[in-house]
Amino acid sequence: MANKRKIAYAHHLPGWTVEGGNREALKASRRVTPDEYEEDMRGALYCPGCFTNVERTPKEKDLFTNQRDPFYRHLQRWSHVACVLRAKKPIGKRYDSWEEAKRAIEHEHLAIVKEFLQERPEIDLEPSGEYDETPVEDMDGPISEVPIGRHQGESFELPSKITTVAGMCRNFEKNKDKYFFLPGAIHAVKLAELLTDVADLDRSVLDKPQKPKLYYGKILRSWNAGRFNTSIRMTRLRCGQGAGDFTVKMPDGFCQAKNINDASVGRIVMFYGVITRNGGGIGAEHLAWGEIALIPKKYNELLIPE
């Protein structure tokens, strides 16, 4: 159910069309919560995450069924457009031939991720306010055998990347529709469908063996728990009730270099890793250099509209 409630509001702009419609005009249009819905808005409501049509359930303004709150849902018609706010049914992409997969990589529709960058690159450039302005740290990885052929068990030898979460966040609006084949994966999946909001987690995530995954969450508070830049910086993310609390624990100096500091409240952080226990709550720690980044602020509403 958590996913259904993710569309906190819809844009209301009569006459707007998904194909050819001016996106800036849509973003500037009225935001309507499920409670504010009026029946004459039908057909003119759009998702803030992917800008396709949404409809309100129930369609009648005042009809409540089983005491459930009304919510917005995507339309099947636009299911080919990836959206972080859509209930996830990831579909692995298959390729007919090596040439087709190679072309997808060249056109940046597909990336084979060998690993996330482990160490900070030696060329030390000052971090800027927006990740869009930071240097691309991605490096070429080895040729890798990737099982993404159309036929059962068919693999192609393809160039891979050693990448960073920061690189995935850059151009997020475009990258959300790009297929990524992550380390240890069995399918290439669109970035939007690889992402899990930590607000959807509870402590039961610790009960089963985990594989590293991509997570994101909104920063509630961030503080250095000690006095030095080697001390641990505690960064609390918004979480569900069943989680207790959610804390990213990394050295202060590491966080500062990524612009994660006391002033990061309200920003969204994305990371690749496993969930660990933290006292009565959960969290993440021991992340490598390329495994965590702040999402450029302009993409906040694509991930957590409010």
Q: How far is the CB of 25 from Zn ion (least distance, A)?
A: 18
Nearer to Zn ion, 82 or 205 (CB): 82
Nearer to Zn ion, 296 or 305 (CB): 305
Binding site for Zn ion (CB under 5 A): 47, 49-50, 83, 85
Instruction: Tell me the CA distances in angstroms from 276 to 41, 149, 209, 216, one per residue in order.
Output: 44, 35, 11, 15
Q: How far is the CB of 64 from Zn ion (least distance, A)?
A: 24
Q: How far is the CB of 263 from Zn ion (least distance, A)?
A: 30
Nearer to Zn ion, 49 or 70 (CB): 49
Residue 24 DSSP symbol: H
The 10 Å Cβ neighbour count of residue 168 is 26
Instruction: Tell me the CA distances in angstroms from 27 to 30, 47, 53, 201, 304, one per residue in order.
Output: 8, 10, 14, 29, 14
Q: How far is the CB of 195 from Zn ion (least distance, A)?
A: 13
Dist. CA 73–CA 119, nearest whole Å: 41
Contacts of 259 (CB under 8 A, 6+ apart): 127, 129, 294
Nearer to Zn ion, 7 or 255 (CB): 7
Dist. CA 269–CA 112, nearest whole Å: 23
Amino acid (one-letter) located at 303 = L
Task: Please state the separation of Cα 305 from the chain's center in Å.
Answer: 13
Which residue is it, tokens 């859509």? 86
Q: How far is the CB of 231 from Zn ion (least distance, A)?
A: 40
Sign of CA dihedral 165, 171, 172, 178: negative
Q: How far is the CB of 18 from Zn ion (least distance, A)?
A: 11
Nearer to Zn ion, 87 or 265 (CB): 87
Nearer to Zn ion, 49 or 167 (CB): 49
Amino acid (one-letter) located at 21 = G
